[in-house]
Amino acid sequence: MKGASFRAVLHVDLDAFFVAVERVLDPRLCGRPVVVGASPSRRGVVAAASYEARAFGIHSAMPMAQALRLCPNLVRVSGTHGAYGRASRAVFDVLGNYTPVIEKVSVDEAYLDLTGTEHLFGRAVDAADRMRREVRERLRLDLTIGASRNRLVSKVASAFAKPMGLFDVQPGQEARFLAPLPVKALPGIGPVTTRRLHDLNIPRLGVLADTEGWFLEEIFGNYSKPMQRRARGEDDTPVSPPWERHEAKTIGHEETFAADTDDHAFLRAKLRAQLESTTRRLREKGLLARKLTVKLRYADFVTESRDATLPVATDHDIELLQPALELLHRMATRRTLVRLLGVRLGGLVQGYWQGGLFDPRARRSRRLVSVLDRVRAKYGVQAVRAGETVWLAQAENRRHGSFLG
């Protein structure tokens, strides 16, 4: 419609950011297969890989030893972490000249809302092109940018434009752009949902968008409607700068073990210790969590995660322990050693726990938690520990037992 006003949202991604910064510091790395990450002797994994390294099948999270086998001429750099932060700040200083509405997702990724800036910079795609040129000329770093009228489509468009590209999806063309893409290209559709959709002969987003809603609801329940809307490119999620949202969307802890394990008792104890640490951080920030996620990564790097929505928001590890153990048990279906375990709390809301008037046992439990927090704040987190976590410290190197318990 002539004269219609649309939102203008960019998804900005710095290409192979860690490697790119290392190349600015040492130009001799340019054109060579490069990875950033710890030594294979320390069970290091690839944190970032250049496009030359990716041509050998190397990718982030791959064991460094495997990466070196795939590419004997690979150059490994341990990483200059202070430089990454400085480079990121310099890039965001440039982006801030175009709009104050910036949601920084990570050190190398952000959403920008340029709605209403046309009289200053012209169309969003033109402003995006200026950003790319300015960052390249001033900082010698490359941006990939997706542009559309919402953040979902812009995110997919930037992935489509990699590397070092710019892709603009015109208003009204969102569904047409997404239709030929595989379902896994849509943020929020993970490996498990992808497999289920493929089993239903729904390989592409256009097919998903056109499938009868009642049929999808039978399979995916309440998740089916938002999934179909997103497959059509419909998304009204705002770009939220820091002053409009909590600094942390989730709080969590995960650990890669020194030795892979199939000891279920060890994993239970480790999960409890992680919940204690994570909920302590919740209480320090005055936050409650509504969502719990448990993550497992196996020795063959297959990664699984399961979520649970809590009936009442909480900051207490005891209230989270049983649902967390149930999620762990539901994932314990493979007879493969476990490499990593993690827990993450989301759906964060500001507030403090309030118990029921006629629940004295819960109130006693809360008073105990408060006392323990004060003791640990004064004498250290190891001053008071649950028996299971004491056992854990003695069991770090155990390699026997059954994961399936």
Residues annotated catalytic, as ranges: 109
What strands lie across the sheet with 46-49, from one edge to the other? 46-49, 34-37, 75-77
User: Collapsing DSSP states into helix, strand and coil, what is residue 168?
Assistant: strand
Rounded to whole angstroms, how far apart are CA atoms 201 and 37? 39
Sign (positive or negative) of CA dihedral 87, 90, 91, 92? positive
Please state, in angstroms and as integers, the Cα–Cα distance from residue 223 to each residue in 198, 226, 240, 250, following that order. Answer: 17, 6, 24, 21
Q: Which two tokens stand for residue 389?
A: 């976590």
Q: What is the DSSP string of 204-215?
A: BHHHHHHS-HHH
**Residue 265, phi then psi, degrees to nearest 5:** -65, -40
Please state, in angstroms and as integers, the Cα–Cα distance from residue 4 to each residue in 55, 172, 173, 231, 280, following that order. Answer: 44, 12, 15, 24, 50
Place of tokens 């997404």: 178
Q: Which residues of 165-185 are buried (b: 16+ CB within 10 A; e: fewer)?
A: bbbbbeeeebbebbbebebbb
**Residue 291 burial (C-beta neighbours within 10 Å; 0-12, 13-18, 19+):** middle
Rounded to whole angstroms, how far apart are CA atoms 280 and 270? 16
User: Collapsing DSSP states into helix, strand and coil, what is residue 45?
Assistant: strand
188: β partners: none
Rounded to whole angstroms, how far apart are CA atoms 72 and 256? 26
Q: What's the residue count for the chain?
A: 405
